[in-house]
Amino acid sequence: MRAGSLLLCLFALPVVAFADATNGQFMGYDLGAGYTETVQTAERTTTGNLLIVANSPLKPADIKQVVLVATPVTRTVGYISAASWFPTEGEARESARRYVEILRAKYPDWSFGGEVMDASFRIVEVNFDKAPYNLKLRLERNTHEGRDMWRFSMGLGWQPKSKKWQAWQDMSDTEQSAKNTTDREQLLEDSDVRGL
């Protein structure tokens, strides 16, 4: 029994060691895979997809939350975002700098750049790219748990206009159209429409 457990662990190690953004994997989830866990927290985006707070992410200890953007019916993941909040901009920038260094070391063959600056000419976004994937790091001021804070986030998605991105968008559009039709039919079935 003990030898079997050890063997199982040895076979499992390479999977964990090689699970990375190069394969579309981030924070324990895969782009293009269905989210099969019970959804505890989900809300609709303005585009009709779901924002799902991940139940069991594989993440560094200082990352507070992982959120997935998924299609509304099959919950196929199209974007994976990890975030932490800080009381000051300095703390958030320090965390962002550390992750830029870590990701540059982990993905040396990814193109690095695509900086975006704010009105004060401070960098608030950088990108790592390797077709078909984009890994975006962003710093922004926002409200979290009723307090004004600084949010640092990292997100993995497909490069805009890539075939993978377009396929996911098409799937999302199809699911949303079908869901909207079903929701309308259910509304009419559940409502008193006499005289309407």
9-22 pLDDT, tens digit per residue, is 433 434 344 458 99
Contact criterion met (CB below 8 Å) for 61 and 94:
no
Domain membership flag for residue 18: no
Contact criterion met (CB below 8 Å) for 29 and 35:
yes
Domain membership flag for residue 7: no
Give the mean pLDDT of 53-62: 93
**Residue 124 domain boundaries:** 25-190
How high is the pLDDT of residue 125?
A: 94
pLDDT band at 45 (very low <50, low <70, confident <90, very high): confident
Does the pLDDT at position 165 exceed 50?
A: yes
Domain membership flag for residue 13: no
Domain membership flag for residue 94: yes
The pTM of this model reads 0.81
How many distinct structural domains can be found in the chain?
1
Domain membership flag for residue 10: no
Domain membership flag for residue 12: no
Domain membership flag for residue 128: yes
Contact criterion met (CB below 8 Å) for 88 and 150:
yes
Domain membership flag for residue 124: yes
Give the mean pLDDT of 26-43: 87
How high is the pLDDT of residue 31?
A: 97
Mode of pairing for the β-strands spanning 111-117 and 25-26:
unpaired
Contact criterion met (CB below 8 Å) for 51 and 67:
yes
Give the mean pLDDT of 72-89: 96
